[in-house]
Chain A
Amino acid sequence: MDAREKGTIEQIRLETEYIEIPETLEPDRIERLLEERRREKRLAFRKFLTAAAAACLVLVCTGGLFAGLKKAGKWAQNGSSSDATADTAEEPEDTSDDGPDGGRKNTGSAEVYKQAYACLMAFQNGEGVRGFTSDTAETADAAMETESAAMDTATNMAAGDMARTAESGGYSSTNVRQEGVDEADIVKTDGRYLYTLADDGSEISVVDTEGGMRRAASIPAEKEEEICEFYVTDGKVVVISGAGASPITALLDTDLGGKASKEQITKSTDYTRVTTYDVTDPGNPTKLGDVSQSGYYTSSRLSGSFVYVFSDYSVGGIPTPKEGETPEPLNYIPLVDGELVAGDDICLPQGDAAYMYEIVTSVGLGTPGVAADSKAILTNGGSLYVSGQSVYWYESDWGDDGKSVTTNIRKLSYQNGRIKEAAQGEVKGWIEDSFSIDEYGGNLRVVTSGNEANAVYVLDSDLRQIGAIEGLAEDERVYSARFMGDTAYFVTFRETDPLFSVDLSDPEDPKILGELKIPGFSEYLHYYGGNQLLGIGMDADEESGVTSCIKLSMFDISDNTDVKERDKYLAEEIYSTDALYDYKSVLIDPEKNLIGFSGYNDRGESYYVFSYDGEDGFTCRMREKVNGGGYRAARGVYIGNILYVVKGNVIEAYSLTDYNKVDDIIL
């Protein structure tokens, strides 16, 4: 934090110094409240036990019948839900249900559950939080890898941005990290209808843009849920929603959760739901099916005809089981579709302690009511990068002294909805964001920042390091990166902005090609067609490094050994923009020569459109106040020649010819 930031923090502290707490929150009042609570709870619990007595009786019988099943992955549910009891009682041969595979799976689950439990308890008890060992690659799936490598070139071309425009006709789509892999967002269009999420997540409005904007329909969130993001694809809207824990948590705490319905169990923790609607008639969305999973929504991808949904599921406060009892899996194993994730689908960490799962579930567009596959990665928190065929989960270990940062990378392969654990590896330093990690030709290239310097690593498909350049730009850190085929560009910053270009054509021997120092830094890099790379960032004082305003840079990359900043534009009135942090908020279309994003100035939020040409450099084409409200950044979407600026419940339409406002609607 710089001095000004510290000053602001101090100022806020002073401004709140006088604030006293309401009487009800005084420690002695709280003490009394807690004592009362304890008494009430005891009474309530006794009532609850009496009511549960009948159900318990059934449990005992089932337990006797299915002693053998107890090892099985889903024993907790079979053994404790009364529906399952009835079914299985009639078919005792169910014990060997899934054939040889099922058997293996079930025994596996018990073992994996045990290990998962040990990891979670280790964290809970504060043991060995740190440290994963650096052994790599366990179960790389060779066949899948080969296939992946072949697909790489097709899907991973950064230049593909151009293709997207042509392909999708006259309308924009969400700016994504990986060409060919769509990402959910809060505003989408199919070329005629706009789909926009209400700022509070309560509904998606469907707006017909033909002949002026008109609201055609609404897709409301399920009760108690909030819509996070959605996809529009092929006559369908895939809605991802979530909700926090409901009061039933209390019930689970008593270890008797088995009597709750699957739905209730899922809802007992944070959960995420994927609901698919048919919108072949956009005025009349029809629900097709839904799938739920534990944890709150983190991200998702749409690749081929499958949506992959990621959620974070933190596990804490696991009750200690009574002497001689097996811990209740519902307390520490996540659920997908109301079923415990099987042992085979849990990816254990290299280290011996973890506190959460990153769950990924695939849902087919044609089979929206079931999870096609799912995996739960046991982890200490991390970030996500998804290529055309792999999921990379990377988490940094900051070391006990905070000096020796390492990042553990776990790779899962995916194809047609199937997800497989593939490899595990490690690099020094931390990874700034998903643009600093990139799969290409079967290899993984990573730009990292460390405490002292930066580095570039190349890992093979088993995540074994095969090439590296270390010790770059000492005392600076990576601000942005972009991989384009065999070349990587990245920007580090302390006072000036060196843009590095790296030749990766020989993965085992990456070389620095060039380095360009300019004031300020680019937070986001985007290929702008021809030999041009666009940077959006901040201008900074060369002496002090203090940032002042938003800066657009156009780099000439025709000679990647000698990259030049051909033009720059200082948007002095914009002090910040979401474009720096959220690439989905940017509208960039080289073919239409359109660079759009919302920026904050002293009057609030405005939407800006720039164009660029070699002669005149950057030109600001539009600057219009964003009139909608809400905490999500405004989105710009175009259909044909109309730009729609969407914020909260307000959509404003501008002509892309003269940038005059042509229409607006309040939803």
Chain B
Amino acid sequence: MKCDAKEFAGMYGQVCRDLYRYALCVLKNPHDAEDAVSEAVLNAYEHISSLRSRDSFRSWIFTILANTCRRKLKRAGREQSVEDIGEVFAAQEARRYEGQQCDLSIDLKHALAELSREEQMIVGLSVFGGYRSREIAQMLRMKDGTVRSKRSRALMKMNLALNDTSGIAGKGN
């Protein structure tokens, strides 16, 4: 299909929060998530002609974002993990997002840290994309059964971590 920047931005507006939250859960910091979403958006806009209909915009751009995040993770793995960014830089980052609620809660960060990257993507797509296992399987090019088992295991870990009464997260329920 064809569409101009305005129309595209309209469709994007419907999904942007879920896109950003997904990227945040997978990449773990606002800066990288912001980067990934804007990269995916530019990429999507350039290839808008391959989108078949407005109805599939959501799953189409989610697939693009999922791949963008995956690439970023690969690159990050090579360079240095995000936790290792110097303190000065981290402070700058914090200032940049000051006054905005752009980051994950500590609890959720700890819980996500329990998951493998793949599990994070699967959980992210389930929560923010609202996808079923078969759709996730297609997006991540995995087997349906594999997605189901991985999701189940990941959610079990998340559940344990989020409702852990002894750990740092200390939420209790």
**Contact residues, B142-168 vs A (CB, 8 A):** 143-146, 149-153, 155-160, 162
Shortest Cβ distance from A12 into B: residue:
B127
The reply to whether B50 and A9 form a contact with Cβ atoms under 8 Å apart is no
Decide: B77 and A226 in contact? CB cutoff 8 A.
yes
A455 to B21 Cα, complex, angstroms: 42
Tell me the residues in window 6-28 of chain B with beta carbons closer than 8 Å to chain A beta carbons. Answer: 6, 8-10, 12-13, 16-17, 20-21, 24-25
Contact in complex: B101, A25 (CB < 8 Å): no
Is B5's beta carbon under 8 Å from chain A? yes
Task: Give the distance in Å from the alpha carbon of A77 to the alpha carbon of B54 in the complex.
Answer: 37
Q: Judging by beta carbons under 8 Å apart, are B108 and A22 in contact?
A: no
Size bin of chain B's contact surface:
35 or more
Residues on B with C-beta less than 8 A from A24 are: 34, 38
Q: Assess the A580–B149 pair: CB atoms within 8 A.
A: yes
Contact between B45 and A34, CB atoms less than 8 A apart: yes
**Per-position binary interface string of chain A over residues 10-22, scored 1 when its CB falls under 8 Å from any chain B CB and 0 otherwise:** 0111011011111
Chain A nearest CB: distance from B92 CB in Å?
A: 14
State which of A198-206, A281-289, A370-378 sits at the interface with chain B: A198-206
Separation in Å of the B136 CB from the closest CB of chain A? 12
Contact of A581 among B9, B71, B77, B149 (CB under 8 A): B149
A217-235 residues with Cβ-Cβ distance < 8 A to B are: 226
B108 shortest CB reach to chain A, Å: 5
Q: Is A141 an interface residue (CB 8 A)?
A: no
Q: Which residues of A contact B16 (CB under 8 A)?
A: 21, 25-27, 30
| B-side contacts of A125, CB under 8 Å | 52
Residues of A within 8 A of B116 (CB): 631-632
A residues 33-69 in Cβ contact with B at 8 Å: 33-35, 37-38
Partner of B20, one of A19, A33, A575: A19
Task: Type the 1/0 row for A169-213, where 1 means its CB is closer than 8 Å to any CB of B.
Answer: 000000000000000000000000000000111100000000000
Looking at the complex, which one of B38, B100, B123, B145 makes contact with A20 (CB distance below 8 Å)?
B100
Contact B159 A381 (CB under 8 A): no
| Residue A4 lies at the interface, judged by CB distance under 8 Å to chain B | yes
Q: Is the CB of A9 within 8 A of B102?
A: no
Q: How many residues of chain A are within 8 Å of chain B by beta carbon?
A: 60
Interface: B141 (CB within 8 A): yes
**Bound complex: CA of A580 vs CA of B145, how far in Å?**
12
A22 touching B74, Cβ below 8 Å:
no
Q: Is the Cβ of B162 less than 8 Å from the Cβ of A33?
A: no
Closest to B49 in A: A317
Other-chain contact of B146, A25, A34, A314, A581 (Cβ < 8 Å): A581
Q: Is there a chain B Cβ closer than 8 Å to A432's Cβ?
A: yes
Contact with B along A152-170 (1 / 0, CB 8 A): 0000000000000000000
- Cβ contact of B159, chosen from A4, A37, A316, A523, cutoff 8 A: A4
Distance of A23 Cα from B37 Cα, bound (Å) = 12
Q: Which residues of A contact B155 (CB under 8 A)?
A: 4-5, 8-9
Instruction: Report the Cα distance A523→B148, complex, angstroms.
Output: 13
Q: Is B158 a contact of A312 with CB atoms below 8 Å?
A: no
A22 and B100 contact, CB distance less than 8 A: yes
Q: Please measure, in the bound complex, the distance between the C-alpha atom of A316 and the C-alpha atom of B24, giving whole angstroms.
A: 27
A15 touches B77 (CB 8 A): no
- Whether A575 contacts B143 by the Cβ 8 Å rule is no
> Interface digits, B99-133 against A, CB 8 Å rule (1 contact, 0 not)?
01111110110000000111000010011100000
Q: Report the bound CA distance from A200 to B72 in whole Å.
A: 12
CA distance A312 to B140 in the complex (A): 12
Contact of B156 among A20, A317, A576 (CB under 8 A): A576
User: Do A22 and B141 touch across chains, with their CB atoms under 8 A apart?
Assistant: no
- The docked-state distance in angstroms from the alpha carbon of A411 to that of B6 is 49
Contacts of A400 in B (CB 8 A): none
Q: Kindly list chain A residues whose C-beta atoms are within 8 Å of the C-beta of B24.
A: 16, 19
Please name the residue on chain A nearest to B96 by beta carbon. Answer: A22
- In this assembly, does B42 line the interface, its C-beta being within 8 Å of a C-beta of chain A? yes
A538 to B102, CA, bound (A): 39
Bound form: Cα–Cα A95–B87 in Å: 64
Distance to closest chain A CB from B142 (angstroms):
9
Closest chain-B Cβ to A78's Cβ sits at a distance in Å of 29
Determine whether B66 belongs to the interface, using a CB cutoff of 8 Å to chain A.
Answer: no
Residues of B within 8 A of A12 (CB): 25, 108, 123, 127, 158, 162
Q: Check A383–B5 contact: CB distance below 8 A.
A: no
Chain A 605-642, CB-CB to B under 8 Å as 1, else 0, gives 00000000000000000000000000110000000000
- In A579-604, the 8 Å CB interface with B consists of 580-581, 600, 602
Interface pairs (21), CB distance under 8 Å:
A1-B152, A8-B158, A12-B123, A16-B127, A19-B102, A20-B101, A24-B34, A33-B42, A34-B5, A37-B42, A37-B45, A202-B78, A226-B77, A244-B74, A312-B141, A316-B47, A381-B138, A398-B134, A523-B149, A575-B160, A580-B149
B interface vs A, CB < 8 Å? 5-6, 8-10, 12-13, 16-17, 20-21, 24-25, 30, 34, 37-38, 41-42, 45-47, 49-50, 52-53, 71, 74, 77-78, 97, 100-105, 107-108, 116-118, 123, 126-128, 134, 138, 141, 143-146, 149-153, 155-160, 162
Interface residues of A (CB under 8 A from B): 1, 4-5, 7-9, 11-13, 15-16, 18-28, 30-35, 37-38, 124-126, 199-202, 226, 244, 253, 312, 314, 316-317, 381, 383, 396, 398, 430, 432-433, 523, 575-576, 580-581, 600, 602, 631-632
